Amino acid sequence: MHALTLNAVSKSFDEKVAVDNVSFALEPGAFLGLLGRNGAGKSTTLKLITGLLRPTSGNIQVLGHDVVAEPLMVKRKIGVMPEDMALMEMLTGPQYLRFVGRMYGLEDAVIESRQRELFQTLDLEPGPRTVISDYSFGMKKKVALCAALLHGPRVLFLDEPFEGIDPVTSRTIKEILMTLQSRGVTLVLTSHVLEIVEKLCPLIAILDEGRLKGFGPLAELRGTSENLESFFLGLVGGQEKRELSWL
């Protein structure tokens, strides 16, 4: 059974086609980097997979469950770190995790011990009364990651996890993702930072204007290109010379 399958998935917003007939499948334990420039359809694709949006056509299965027909089944098994993080900022980090943990039906004692372990692993040390709205951006990203991991998801989706993150925090997050992969968790992250994806993700998908332009193991995809960047630019453009006439 695949961890994730997309069959001819499309999503339109009025006349705008954000995701256009995308199909691919992931084996359990895969680590996919979904690449594409701004507006390529990466976030929309993740929202479709995680049940936040409904496809206009096509279907999606996560661990054998149809996302539209069995939304709760899917939500129990996945963790999601959305691009906007969707935190409840008037709560403290531990309060927010308690809320999330209870939503998943976890015992308070389990929630508390996991929360401590997560905070420790991520070097997250907020003041005991500090609410999330007063956290730094990096701390908010970390809390969002903790919330996504609390219930032990088998498939994890991260939308731009390294966006706006300092190098130290970035490395901590990378290490956690690699640990998860070694435990057999299936991972999908989106990014427009090629270097990160190139180092972290053995499997790459490239979206351009909603269409899947490339999918496969990094080495295979890159082929004879010098690096992922030249392959990517060759595929999605950006070669044309631009001029600013007044400068």
Distances from the Cα of 43 to the Cαs of 52, 80, 141, 246, in angstroms? Answer: 10, 12, 16, 36
Query: Could you give the string, one character per residue 41-60, with x where binding to Mg ion holds by CB under 5 A and - elsewhere?
Result: -xx-----------------
For residue 170, what are its two tokens? 């970035």
Phi/psi at 217 (5° precision): -60, 140
Residue 39 touching ligand ADP (CB under 6 A): yes
Return the CA Rg of the chain.
Answer: 19
Q: What is the dihedral of CA 192, 93, 130, 124, to 10 degrees?
A: -60
Site residues for ligand ADP, 19-38, by CB under 6 A, read 36, 38
Binding pattern for the stretch 8-47 against Mg ion, x by CB under 5 A and - elsewhere: ----------------------------------xx----
Which partner in ligand ADP, Mg ion, none is near 40 (CB below 5 to 8 A by kind)?
ligand ADP
Which helix (H) or strand (E) element contains residue 189? Answer: strand 186-191
16 binds ligand ADP (CB under 6 A): yes
Of 4, 6, 18, 48, the one binding ligand ADP (CB under 6 A) is 18
Segment contacting ligand ADP (CB under 6 A): 42-50, 119-127, 169-177, 217-225?
A: 42-50
CB of 175 to ligand ADP, least distance (A): 25
Distance of alpha carbon 214 from alpha carbon 207, whole angstroms: 7
DSSP lists the bridge partners of residue 206 as 35, 214
Q: Give me 167's structure tokens.
A: 């190098």
Number of residues this chain uses to bind Mg ion (CB under 5 A):
2
- How many CB atoms neighbour CB 193 within 10 A? 13
Minimal CB distance residue for Mg ion = 43
Give, for 109, the enclosing helix (H) or strand (E).
helix 108-121
**Is there binding between residue 13 and ligand ADP (CB under 6 A)?**
yes
The binder of ligand ADP chosen from 43, 61, 170, 172 (CB under 6 A): 43
CB nearer to ligand ADP: give 6 or 150: 6
Q: Does the footprint of Mg ion cover residue 92 (CB under 5 A)?
A: no
Residue 45 CB, shortest distance to ligand ADP, in Å, is 7
Structure tokens at 84: 């906007």
57 within 8 A of 10, measured Cβ to Cβ? yes
Shortest CB 111 distance to ligand ADP, Å: 31
The two beta strands, 57-62 and 4-13, are antiparallel
Binding site residues, Mg ion, CB under 5 A: 42-43
Binding site residues, ligand ADP, CB under 6 A: 13, 16, 18, 36, 38-44
